[in-house]
Amino acid sequence: MASNTLSGKTALITGGSRGIGAAIAAMLASLGASTIICGRMPGPLEATAAQIRAAGGQCEAFTCDITDWNSVAALASRVSQTFGHLDILINNAGIGSFSAPLHETPIETWDAIFNTNLRGVFHAIRAFVPLMLERGGDIINISSIASKNPLPNGAAYAASKWGLNGLSYSVAEELRSRNIRVTVLCPGSVHTQFSPHAGKNTEKMLQAEDVAHVVEMLVTQEPRSFVSEVVLRPTQKP
């Protein structure tokens, strides 16, 4: 483990079983935070939590469907009872579809993307901000460079991320007086199971650890300032 910079702090990462979420959880645990990862599949969650604990970090895994308000509220109650507070909320869980133009996109696909990528963030903020108000903290919403650029055959995903950016800017203004910093982080394509890689050099792509490094910078910066938005790009185009 790297340091105790975040010792005494509690962090929750949605979609924390793999990819960007798992990398962020490992990084926060390495800084001394008590980490909580949640998602819909208990097996991968437990495997990731076990890896973090084996490396000397603290990590608990809880099953939660962020599209279901009752599931999120139940997790918030459990976090409150177990930890008493929350200092860092990483809204990372997301899904996408990149195989068809919008006019051929099934209604069910549109609903699933928005329920996860936007409604799920609303659920998490509504449930967990009350646990952050006393001590302040950081909320980091993982968006995408698709919120900045056109994405043919991914219009629903792009629209959900554009919406997430707008939500983040507004919530930042609502909470900054309560010492809660809200940042939207927009990475380009990251080499994970999520991102389509056709025609790309994966060695030049962003890695999950690159996103985690930016999160580290955000949660350890001096409390008098915050970064409202980060756009993360690879040094070389893949």
Catalytically active residues are 157
Angle, helices 69-83/120-128, rounded to nearest 10 degrees: 30
Residue with tokens 């409202």: 228
Q: How many CB atoms lie within 10 A of CB 173?
A: 10
Query: Would you say 144 and 232 are in contact if contact means Cβ atoms under 8 Å apart?
Result: no
Residue 231: other Cβ atoms inside 10 A: 14
Q: Around Cβ 104, how many Cβ atoms within 10 Å?
A: 9
How far is C-alpha 108 from the chain's CA centre? 23
Query: Strands across the sheet with 34-39, in order?
Result: 58-63, 34-39, 10-14, 88-91, 137-142, 180-187, 229-232
How remote is the C-alpha of 57 from its chain's centroid?
19
* Alpha-carbon gap, residue 133 to 153, rounded angstroms: 40
